[in-house]
Amino acid sequence: MHFNTIENWVKESAQLTSPASVKWCDGSQQEYDHIIATMLKDGSLLSLNDKYRNCYLHRSHPSDVARTEQQTFVCPRDRDDAGPNNNWLDPQQAHAKVDALFRNCMQGRTMYVIPYCMGPIDSPYARLGMEITDSPYVVANMRIMTRMGEQALARIKRGEAEVVRGLHSVADLDPQKRFIMHFPEELLIKSVGSGYGGNALLGKKCHALRIASSQARRQGWLAEHMLIAGIEHRGETHYVAAAFPSACGKTNLAMLIPPDKYRQDYKVWTVGDDIAWIHVGDDGRLWAINPEAGFFGVVPGTNEHSNPNALSMIDHDTIYTNVALTADKEPWWEGKLSGKPHTNWKGEPHRGDAPAAHPNARFTVASKQCPSYSPAAEGKQGVPLSAIIFGGRRSTLNPLVVEAFDWSHGVYMGATLSSETTAAATGKVGVVRRDPMAMLPFCGYNMGDYWSHWLSLQQQATQLPRIFQVNWFRCDDSGKFLWPGFGDNLRVLQWVLNRCRNEVDAVNTPIGYLPNATDIDCEGLDVSDATKRELFAIDRQGWQDELTAIASYFSTFGTHVPPAFAAQAQRIRTQLDNS
């Protein structure tokens, strides 16, 4: 895109929104320090106890605490291109609707222009973006989450690549006037009325997933809601990408520390915790980069047990959003093992049973602060994938781990992913919803076409990763988790790796390959043989019902559903009947 086009868009945006001044961000430390100082002065950031060097607390508006999917729209000209998975408006109508809200909305404020790069700055797979915002909080967060500033601008000025533009304003934060609009055909995002996370840091969900997924479809690659981790064993590192719905432990898995008995032999390297851009390499394998430069992670539940790496990276140079405070101004959240809450996330005295930190409270921190951050994450080419893992939060039915027979079955497995909802999006928590590839809120085009696109990689790649499905969240009748999770998930990853290296065989079942009982090491765990059997039991009636639910879900995508899926379902049904 020609740089003139971008300059004109910045001018037009300023004419529309009438800011007091316009500032092009250079991404420097000095600029960051200045923004922080301004926010400390106006009260939108609070400083924390000195033990937390360069850490700050931001309290968002209490009605603006999570992504708002019902106000998020994908607006290609043809409604069918958005699919039943997206809210849609005719692009002209959508522009008119939001432009009315943008009119003069920046009066008295500074308009910041943020050039940014998603992915290592010198990577051929990195992509460029430009966000305009009136929120200093967004500027500070974008500096941590992306490669922002001079170098990105230099690449943009060269004009050789596509640039995704995003116009953002907090406006008056009125939830009724909050819209997150995507125009994939124009590579454009317009977000108004929210200052929170994925609604406002446009590089993340809006650019790197919704718009990028539609670019990826056009250009033959994948933009996915996946962590990327390297598992090192005896000098060899295998990389896996894993898709889980929001707030289902991607960050914890990406930063896993092996249990004691494995610590000598295994080391997990973090490449990314939320987004993977996957392309076919010259060698016919799939390679992944993490387009982000930081983590915007869920804070509650983070502790020495669940994620020691995260805990140690967030005690300095971190922006906290919506956590509670102890009496001596240390950040506090549910699951923190020390201190006690004095002030809740809204800044009120903490009382009673209500959570002190908001369940979707977040930390923003540079990836480089993570002790397990992989040097390969900064490499130009990304990392080659040995396995892709899909995981949902299901208290019943889905086994601890199962491997797909082949790519086509694996894609079907990903497409049938479902999960109980969490606090990462507004709405009811704990309801089972279908969340194909954990991309339901993030796929920027018709999900039926997206599945076909996944299947089409078979024609492009010569050595595809194996595909697995995991479920750390199986419960017994009393609601108690059957599997310890966290670091012990390495025991499952070990099986995944052994399968990738063709070192163990597996049991052929209607739903895929299951581990032999002895191949998942449970030594030292409070997992009885009976529990283990339950973790891998196939509930025949449950699966038949699941197939019916899946078929009815797929039918909402009409003719867009790949025919290969019906064949998969038919095979599973027949094998369940016959087994």
Judged by the rule CB under 6 A, the positions of this chain that interact with ligand OXD are 67, 197-198, 246, 274, 296, 424
**134 makes contact with Mn ion (CB under 5 A):** no
Specify whether the CB–CB gap between 379 and 489 falls below 8 A: no
Q: Which CB, 81 or 274, lies closer to Mn ion?
A: 274
Least distance to ligand OXD, CB of residue 422, Å: 8
- For residue 214, the 8-state DSSP code is H
Query: Which residues make beta-bridge pairs with 514?
Result: 507
Q: Which CB, 246 or 307, lies closer to Mn ion?
A: 246
370 is catalytic: no
**273 makes contact with Mn ion (CB under 5 A):** no
Least distance to ligand OXD, CB of residue 141, Å: 12
Q: Which CB, 246 or 386, lies closer to Mn ion?
A: 246
Tokens of residue 524, six digits: 């030292």
Q: Which CB, 362 or 409, lies closer to Mn ion?
A: 362
Classify strands 127-133 and 21-24 as parallel, antiparallel or unpaired: unpaired
Instruction: Look at residue 199 and give the partner it binds from Mn ion, ligand OXD, none, a contact being a CB closer than 5 to 8 Å depending on partner kind.
Output: none
Least distance to ligand OXD, CB of residue 49, Å: 26
Least distance to ligand OXD, CB of residue 266, Å: 26
User: Which residues have a Cβ under 8 Å from the Cβ of 5 and sit 6 or more positions away?
Assistant: none
Site string for Mn ion, 210-249 (x = CB under 5 A): ------------------------------------x---
Classify strands 294-298 and 319-321 as parallel, antiparallel or unpaired: unpaired
Instruction: Look at residue 198 and give the partner it binds from ligand OXD, Mn ion, none, a contact being a CB closer than 5 to 8 Å depending on partner kind.
Output: ligand OXD
Instruction: Look at residue 252 and give the partner it binds from Mn ion, ligand OXD, none, a contact being a CB closer than 5 to 8 Å depending on partner kind.
Output: none
In 3D, which of 500, 430, 419, 428 has the Cα closest to residue 467? 500
3-state secondary structure 450-484: HHHHHHHHHHHCCECCEEEEECCCCECCCCCECCC
Least distance to ligand OXD, CB of residue 360, Å: 8
E-strand spans in 408-487? 418-420, 432-434, 466-470
Task: Provide the 10 A C-beta neighbour count for residue 421.
Answer: 18
Alpha-carbon distance of 143 to 367, in angstroms, equals: 12
* Given 75, 206, 248, 522, the catalytic residue: 248
Least distance to ligand OXD, CB of residue 225, Å: 7
Instruction: Look at residue 350 and give the partner it binds from ligand OXD, Mn ion, none, a contact being a CB closer than 5 to 8 Å depending on partner kind.
Output: none
Q: Would you tell me the crossing angle of helices 540-555 and 563-578 to the nearest 10 degrees?
A: 160
DSSP 255-292: T----GGGTTTEEEEEEESS-EEEEE-TTSBEEEE---
Q: Which CB, 168 or 205, lies closer to Mn ion?
A: 205
Classify strands 226-233 and 362-366 as parallel, antiparallel or unpaired: unpaired
* Residue facing Mn ion at closest CB distance: 274
Alpha-carbon distance of 564 to 568, in angstroms, equals: 6
Least distance to ligand OXD, CB of residue 194, Å: 13
Tokens of residue 504, six digits: 């163990």
Q: Which CB, 274 or 330, lies closer to ligand OXD?
A: 274
User: Which residues have a Cβ under 8 Å from the Cβ of 366 and sit 6 or more positions away?
Assistant: 144, 293, 294, 317
Query: Which residues make beta-bridge pairs with 22?
Result: 111
Instruction: Look at residue 81 and give the partner it binds from ligand OXD, Mn ion, none, a contact being a CB closer than 5 to 8 Å depending on partner kind.
Output: none
Q: Which CB, 299 or 496, lies closer to ligand OXD?
A: 299
CA neighbours closer than 13 Å in the CB half-sphere of residue 435: 24
* Residue facing ligand OXD at closest CB distance: 246
For Mn ion, the binding residue among 274, 449, 488, 546 (CB under 5 A) is 274
Q: Give the dihedral sign, CA 401/406/410/413.
A: negative
Interface with Mn ion (CB under 5 A) = 246, 274
Active site residues: 248
